A and B are shown apart, each in its own frame.
Chain A
Amino acid sequence: MTEENGAPGADGQEPSRRDFIYIAAGGVAAVGGGLVAWPFIDQMNPAADTLALGSIRVDVSVVPVGSEITVMWRGGPVFIRHRTEEEIAEARAVELDALPDEDARNDNLPAGTPGTDANRVLRPEFLIVKGNCTHLGCVPLGLSANTGDYDGWYCPCHGSHYDTSARIRRGPAPENLPVPDYYFEGGDESMLVKIGLSPDEASNSGWAVS
């Protein structure tokens, strides 16, 4: 006597109702498990208040030509260097194919933008970059201690040299120091830099690929 809802799966037989129930129950359990797991994984991501602390304002008029300051942004350092004419000229003279990393690494511009100096600054005299070495995150030394072989920054941990556009030139670091999203708040005359922009501000920041 064959039973419609009997034991599943003897060879060649049609799937029974029990087979269907097994698969359906297993599927629901798998999806349910995933749904429960997701909040427990996602809670590790930056919280809303952490994200909200994401912008600062800096008055760069306090930085004389030929010097630099380090400010804290999002828990890490940001370098602001007021570059001399020589430093700017040095950065602009570099051919693109002399760079280990040819990407501008500029959060204000699309990925893949060529890493010319012009694509890394909003105003040539102010270079603003995140200050963690792209190798393992140490803070490179700058004007106050050691500018390395390319007059920019030198990372003491594993010997990465950055140039006057904060681009990696030699050493283990794989990428240029990234440019955070920033603009000069209040237009062309302003010396007030806002780092960390809302989408609205980002669309009016004045950045363009050159």
Chain B
Amino acid sequence: MSGPSTYKPGTGIEKWLDDRLPIIRLGYDSFVDFPTPRNLNYWWTFGGILAIFLMIQIVSGIVLAMHYVAHEDYAFDSVQRITRDVPFGWLIQSMHANGASFFFVAVYLHMFRGLYYGSYKAPREILWILGVVIYLLMMATGFMGYVLPWGQMSYWGAMVITNLIGALPFIGDALREWLWGGFSVGQATLNRFFSLHYLLPFVIAAVVGLHIWALHVPGNGNPVGLEVKTKKDTLPFHPYYTVKDGFAIIVYLMVFAVFVFFLPTVLGHADNYIEADPLVTPAHIVPEWYYLPFYAILRAITFDIGPIDAKLGGVLAMFGAIGILFVLPWLDTSKVRSMRYRPLTRWFFIFFVAGALGLGWCGAKNPDDFVLGIEGFKFLYLGQFLTFYYFAYFIVILPLMGIIEKPKERPASIEAAVLGSDKA
């Protein structure tokens, strides 16, 4: 961790333990006396919120697994039974299902925070990449978890996504069958998805450990984007940020509780209360809301690109949209981290966020419907334009802006930014 340890064992037992397994020292240096920039705002609280939600999902998930039956004939009924017959099953199932949504809300805000304040820039590239790995694992875990209740959307969502694999040249069909463990989405698929859905959160927890390790080497970034230079730039993590994070966590949990108790199904889809039927496709297959922007990108590619047909092109664009995040630290050529001091790029970023939300809107709609009822303006075209902008932001705008943009003057230090005036 950054700086020498300041831990002093207080009692004989602590001293004895510290000589053998300095685990209290590790916790103290990481979460008590860890020097943290004094200017962190509430956008920095989502890391803590995410840690809480990972725990909520694991604990509620382990409980649900005690009652869930991973069989194509019983899975749907077993989830209904959990919500009706199992003591407090209605609560724990609601926590788990809504917890996934709140987990994704927090991770998206955490990622936008990183994009806005340049958290991915040197020396935090590995920290960022580990974060993208966690995000990918979350996507896989969430996808497989959504299959488990074995409703119509579970089944057909799984069908559509696994069929994407079939778009890969040469190996696609064999790979799809390998994934299914049969000739279609079925019992074997459900069973293995349950196994992997149970496993992956622990993999996420391990990568979160690396993520925090990689965070504690350079320390936190901060809203002005300057490195910590002196001790005056920092505050100890405890009590300053334990309290700030704690407050944010409580507020976030209050909103969560509103959904868990009063709107438990509002984020779900009505079709998922119909048991999976391999012979009937729902009229309108939509994934969970947190995949919608990527679903829109998938559907935006309706044309062949050279030897790549539209189907494979859509798949490549969808995975490319996440894959490009891995190389973001090297695409953004600007040395200035925070968008506060990047007057032009800041606007492009705001459009990027709006575009990402817009893609989500397109993903939820039928591509052939008209946007706001405007004749001829199909959601497909909006999706295509926003997909273009999504990639242009990373491939053209960020590399170019680092060269042509003149950043605003930055304060001399974090301390000066905080104590000098309110407006940094």
Contact = CB atoms under 8 A, between A and B. Distances in A.
Given A138-B281, A139-B280, A50 B311 contact: no
B280 A46 contact: no
A44 to B, nearest CB: 5
Contacts of B283: 156
Nearest to B304: A174
B321 interface: no
Interface string B166-178: 0000000000011
B192 interface: yes
A132 B248 CA distance: 48
A84 B297 CA distance: 41
Contacts of B162: 137
Contact of B299 (A46, A54, A137, A158): A158
Contact of A138 (B159, B164, B181): B159
Question: Do most interface residues of chain A lie in helix, strand or loop, or is the interface mixed?
Answer: loop
A74 B279 contact: no
B159 A136 contact: yes
B179 A75 contact: no
B188 A47 contact: yes
Contacts of A131: 279
A157 B310 contact: no
A138 B183 CA distance: 14
A49 B77 CA distance: 25
A72 B183 CA distance: 12
B184 A45 contact: no
B368 A159 contact: yes
A53 to B, nearest CB: 9
Counting chain B residues whose Cβ lies within 8 A of the other chain, the interface size class is 20 to 34
A172 B280 CA distance: 20
A158 B368 CA distance: 9
B164 A136 contact: yes
Interface string A123-162: 0000000011001111100000000000000001111000
Interface string B307-339: 001110000000000000000000000000000
Contacts of A139: 278-281
Interface string A67-109: 0001010111100000000000000000000000000000000
Nearest to B186: A75
A47 to B, nearest CB: 7
B251 interface: no
B368 A172 contact: no
Contacts of A44: 178-179, 181, 192
27 contacts: A44-B178, A44-B179, A44-B192, A45-B177, A45-B181, A46-B177, A46-B182, A46-B188, A50-B181, A50-B183, A50-B188, A72-B278, A75-B182, A75-B278, A76-B183, A76-B278, A131-B279, A135-B163, A135-B311, A136-B160, A136-B164, A137-B163, A138-B281, A156-B284, A157-B281, A172-B310, A174-B310
Interface of B: 156, 159-160, 162-164, 177-186, 188, 192, 278-281, 283-285, 299, 302, 309-311, 367-368
Interface of A: 44-47, 50, 54, 70, 72, 74-77, 131-132, 135-139, 156-159, 172, 174
